[in-house]
Structure 1
């Protein structure tokens, strides 16, 4: 008989509904694993007593109308407000911060009956593409614990890949779900702009960021999206309602699709590892074998878009201020980006947002004839801890991050849903993701295709060392 952690999140939910296992038994199973096996820097704060209380409150089974993840353990990223639980935003300046309220993501997970085991690690304010916070050990991929888990949802990805939770929520403003998914051999789903509410902070005036799913299977990722999705009356923008549950889309054939592909980096001159190119080529052939038409296209965003994105990114970083008197506790990269952001005037910021939206419109128009777009997820397999970080030269740090992630931010700019799928492993056993993106609000088609790909080239049999 399989151990509980060998089962998918949906399979665990079925056991809860059948009363073959209780939410408390699941929580205890994963709390024991998290306490014993978290050598991957997954959790910055474990909330064992709170998890047990929540699991007990759910009872022995699932009530009528409960969702498929009712009673299943999960975790909440350390960027998301959670009432009564230390939430540091990955920063030493907030190492003792305990919010009085929960945000929409936390509330949605609780409403779905998910049991959070604690807060997963993130870099300071979720800005870097690696997870090496000053408040916790680095998050590493369990496939090679000398290499980083990616970021900024690195703790969440490490937790899922190491079997410490069956699935977890992440967030993504420039690739922060898809990057760690690639590094940890997972499915990482960034939904469309406005699919998930940013209540109550609405801290991203540009619309780059969103919450999303990290899971071992496409179906689990879809089920978590069902739990998270939905708008609130005060949301500044929202995606149109789906035609039904996202999970149901995984059981539908996508039909014959027109696939655009490009491998040239959106960020010019970024070198691409041959393993990432191989993963992309293999995925192209797989899609063709499934009956889809794959066509080469030009990079849909011009080089000028990169500088405009950087301006917006710097301003967003500058909005994440430290408590008074604790500014010196911020990392050098955060201080450098903050200074850069504060140097941008209000009119300059407004012009940058307008330019970014025009670049997005041009890209969406160019890609409109295609159902999905295929690129590599990253320009390299997981890199060693510290390889990107450079506290002595924050600008060099930032440039290294750009070279590592030359495609992911494109779909934050356009607002398109995108997913990283674990379709390739290097000869050394390192995971390499491949990225698919669909038109805005077409998560159902993206999930249908992703489920078809998973069925044709399954990865569920793979387990990281130490599983």
Structure 2
């Protein structure tokens, strides 16, 4: 007899709507798992059990209403929720309790989902690993010696460990895809402008957007439909109704021309080495896509000059935080370094980097245009031990992040959609993922391709913690 967490989010939703289970039962099940198991994972920084049960009881009485009615989720700790501590992964906000709820949370509330608390994130979401000064590190459910990636590390680890059926997340340079690939679940970074309340259009370089993390492509598509359908703003490509992404996951993908590359824009600036298992995953995915009847070709792509442009924009984004000298002493060394480096930039340097980003965006879209999707590794290296990222030498830390995930940030700069999913396993049985990158607004094509690839690859194993 399967446990509730053995069911996909869509299967749980169907059972809820048939009244075979109630929101109270589902929320109770996940709260029990979190209380028993999260000490091993560190996915949560705040658990709002009483509020969650009150919401579940209200929804049970009122009946099915909303695309996510009765399904649990948790807010990333960068998303304010009224009355709930929101720490942004930082000692500076240890006691901050907002009095208003952000749209990223309200959209899911309005869809009938129930927040169980806050998932862990690194300080201000600035790094690709989730280890902070305010709590325990977030660990890979497959191997607790390793980290879970970041910055949506808590969200990805919670889903991978069966502590949540799905989770909202955000991605400014890989923050959905890095942890999803690290722990072997599905993550989608939408196109710039696709998610109305988190379009990326209000930040330097247009980098950060919101998106879903889930165990299956269909579950991720379900959540993406909700994220793109709420809070319509006139400048967002997702307004007013979003895309029928779950429909795309449920129908066969039409013929697609797919380019394959293991080149990253960091190759001419850092010592990028591709792990053998990551390379094999690309080969496996390419073969499966070819077997499905798609056209698959090697893609010759040699971008240049990316590193200086991106690091300038990333430092510029950090420098927007108006921290005092005293506050800089309380933040992580990597945070302080990014802010100080950003403040040292001239206006001309910032404008040149933003102009270079626009040139890179156009050049990348043009280079990718012959293909319906481009297949790359998701990560260059396997999951790394907790503490592997240097917490004192900030410049070395940044280089380590680049070497771990060199295929992520350029997608944000180009404003393209991307999806990561596991397609094979390494010798230890840990899932290994690939990345599919689409055309602007091409989420539905990516989802259809990924859903087919998911079926061909077969069901991935689950970590041992799953059955505890």
- Map of 2:398 onto structure 1: 398
Report if the CA contact (8 A) 1:195-1:230 is conserved: no
What TM-score results when the alignment is normalised by the length of structure 1? 0.95
In the TM superposition, residue 198 of structure 1 has moved relative to its aligned partner by 3.6
In the TM superposition, residue 439 of structure 1 has moved relative to its aligned partner by 0.4
**2:52 is the alignment partner of 1:47:** no
Report if the CA contact (8 A) 2:199-2:209 is conserved: no
Q: 1-side partners of 2:196 and 2:340: how far apart? A: 29
Distance 1:243 1:322, change over 3 A: closer
Tell me which moved more, 97-106 or 234-243.
Answer: 234-243
Q: 2-side partners of 1:6 and 1:323: how far apart? A: 48
Q: Secondary structure at the match of 2:205?
A: coil
Superposition pairs for residues 280-359 of structure 1, below 5 Å? 280-299=282-301, 302-322=303-323, 325-359=326-360
Report if the CA contact (8 A) 1:225-1:246 is conserved: yes
Q: 1-side partners of 2:159 and 2:292: how far apart? A: 29
Q: 2-side partners of 1:349 and 1:53: how far apart? A: 48
Distance 1:155 1:55, change over 3 A: same
- Map of 1:427 onto structure 2: 427
In the TM superposition, residue 188 of structure 1 has moved relative to its aligned partner by 0.7
Distance 1:250 1:445, change over 3 A: same
Q: 2-side partners of 1:375 and 1:113: how far apart? A: 36
- Map of 1:456 onto structure 2: 456
Q: 1-side partners of 2:231 and 2:347: how far apart? A: 28
Q: 2-side partners of 1:231 and 1:317: how far apart? A: 28
Distance 1:102 1:141, change over 3 A: same
- Map of 1:189 onto structure 2: 188
Q: 1-side partners of 2:348 and 2:255: how far apart? A: 46
Q: Secondary structure at the match of 1:419?
A: strand
Report if the CA contact (8 A) 1:104-1:197 is conserved: no
Q: Note the alpha carbon deviations across 1:356-415, whole angstroms, 9 max, x for none.
A: 011110110111111000000000111111112x23211000001001111111211111
Q: 1-side partners of 2:358 and 2:158: how far apart? A: 35
In the TM superposition, residue 208 of structure 1 has moved relative to its aligned partner by 0.6
Q: 2-side partners of 1:43 and 1:439: how far apart? A: 34
Superposition pairs for residues 50-61 of structure 1, below 5 Å? 50-60=51-61
- Map of 1:254 onto structure 2: 253
Q: Secondary structure at the match of 1:206?
A: helix
In the TM superposition, residue 164 of structure 1 has moved relative to its aligned partner by 0.6
Tell me which moved more, 314-323 or 253-262.
Answer: 314-323
Report if the CA contact (8 A) 1:16-1:62 is conserved: no
Q: 1-side partners of 2:361 and 2:199: how far apart? A: 26
In the TM superposition, residue 464 of structure 1 has moved relative to its aligned partner by 0.7
Q: Secondary structure at the match of 2:396?
A: helix
In the TM superposition, residue 345 of structure 1 has moved relative to its aligned partner by 2.3
Report if the CA contact (8 A) 1:437-1:446 is conserved: yes
Tell me which moved more, 83-92 or 235-244.
Answer: 235-244
Report if the CA contact (8 A) 2:225-2:243 is conserved: no
Q: 1-side partners of 2:161 and 2:329: how far apart? A: 34
In the TM superposition, residue 242 of structure 1 has moved relative to its aligned partner by 7.0
Q: 2-side partners of 1:232 and 1:72: how far apart? A: 20
Q: How many residues align?
A: 462
Q: Note the alpha carbon deviations across 1:242-275, whole angstroms, 9 max, x for none.
A: 7852111111221111001101232113011111
In the TM superposition, residue 201 of structure 1 has moved relative to its aligned partner by 11
Report if the CA contact (8 A) 1:75-1:118 is conserved: yes
Report if the CA contact (8 A) 1:93-1:323 is conserved: no
Report if the CA contact (8 A) 1:84-1:98 is conserved: yes
Distance 1:32 1:336, change over 3 A: same
Distance 1:322 1:87, change over 3 A: farther
- Map of 1:25 onto structure 2: 25
Distance 1:316 1:372, change over 3 A: same
Distance 1:272 1:142, change over 3 A: same
Q: Secondary structure at the match of 2:204?
A: coil
Report if the CA contact (8 A) 2:198-2:208 is conserved: no
Q: 1-side partners of 2:427 and 2:265: how far apart? A: 27
In the TM superposition, residue 430 of structure 1 has moved relative to its aligned partner by 2.4
Structure 1's unaligned 5+ residue stretches are none
- Map of 2:69 onto structure 1: 70
Distance 1:108 1:372, change over 3 A: same
Q: 2-side partners of 1:235 and 1:337: how far apart? A: 33
Q: Secondary structure at the match of 1:326?
A: helix
**2:386 is the alignment partner of 1:385:** yes
Q: 2-side partners of 1:450 and 1:56: how far apart? A: 36
Q: 2-side partners of 1:242 and 1:51: how far apart? A: 28
Q: Secondary structure at the match of 2:213?
A: strand
Report if the CA contact (8 A) 2:151-2:175 is conserved: yes
What TM-score results when the alignment is normalised by the length of structure 2? 0.95
- Map of 1:367 onto structure 2: 368
Q: Note the alpha carbon deviations across 1:8-33, whole angstroms, 9 max, x for none.
A: 11111111111111111111110011
Report if the CA contact (8 A) 1:332-1:391 is conserved: yes
Q: Secondary structure at the match of 1:303?
A: coil
Instruction: Report the RMSD for the aligned CA atoms in angstroms.
Output: 1.9
Q: 2-side partners of 1:336 and 1:324: how far apart? A: 12
